[in-house]
Structure 1
Amino acid sequence: MVRKLKYHEKKLLKKVDFISWEVDNNLHEVKIMRKYHIQRREDYTKYNRLSREIREVAQSIKDLDVEDIVRTESTGRLLDKLFHLGLVPTKENLELCNKVTASSFCRRRLPVVMVRNHMAESIALATRFIEQGHVRVGPEVVMDPAFLVSRSMEDFVTWVNTSAIKKKVLDYNDLRDDFDMS
Structure 2
Amino acid sequence: MGRELKHHEKKLLKKVNFQDWKSDQGHRDAKVMRMYHIQNRNDYEKYNKLCGSIRQLAYKMAQLPANDPLRIKHEDMLMEKLDNMGVFGIKDPKVSDLEKLSVAAFCRRRLPVVMARLRMAPTVPDASKFVEQGHVRVGPNLVTDPSMLITKNMEDYLTWVDGSKIKRRIQEYKGSVDDFEA
Decide: shared fold, TM above 0.5: yes
> How far off its partner does 1:157 sit?
0.8
Alpha-carbon distance in 1 for matches of 2:30, 2:38: 9
Contact 1:138 1:157 in 2 (8 A): yes
Q: Is the deviation greater in 136-145 or in 12-21?
A: 12-21
Q: In angstroms, what is the RMSD of aligned CA positions?
A: 2.0
Alpha-carbon distance in 1 for matches of 2:9, 2:167: 61
Determine the structure 2 residue equivalent to 1:63: 63
How many percent identity over aligned positions? 43
> How far off its partner does 1:24 sit?
2.0
Determine the structure 2 residue equivalent to 1:130: 131
Question: What amino acid sits opposite 1:122 in the alignment?
Answer: T
Alpha-carbon distance in 1 for matches of 2:62, 2:115: 36
* Total equivalences in the alignment: 180
Structure 1 residues 11, 111: closer, same or farther in 2, change over 3 A? Answer: same
> How far off its partner does 1:164 sit?
0.3
Alignment of 1:65-84 (within 5 A): 65-84=65-84
Alpha-carbon distance in 1 for matches of 2:104, 2:159: 24
Question: What amino acid sits opposite 2:4 in the alignment?
Answer: L
Question: What amino acid sits opposite 1:128 in the alignment?
Answer: K
Report Cα offsets for 1:8-36 as digits up to 9, x if no partner: 87467546423211112251111111000
- 1:22 correspondence with 2:22: yes
Contact 1:80 1:91 in 2 (8 A): no
Question: What amino acid sits opposite 2:129 in the alignment?
Answer: R
Alpha-carbon distance in 1 for matches of 2:177, 2:12: 68
> How far off its partner does 1:90 sit?
4.0
> How far off its partner does 1:94 sit?
0.7
Alpha-carbon distance in 2 for matches of 1:5, 1:143: 54
- 1:112 correspondence with 2:113: yes
> How far off its partner does 1:5 sit?
3.1
Structure 1 residues 12, 68: closer, same or farther in 2, change over 3 A? Answer: same
Query: SS of the residue aligned with 2:159?
Result: strand
Structure 1 residues 162, 22: closer, same or farther in 2, change over 3 A? Answer: same
Contact 2:83 2:93 in 1 (8 A): no
Alignment of 1:39-54 (within 5 A): 39-54=39-54
Structure 1 gap ranges (5+): none
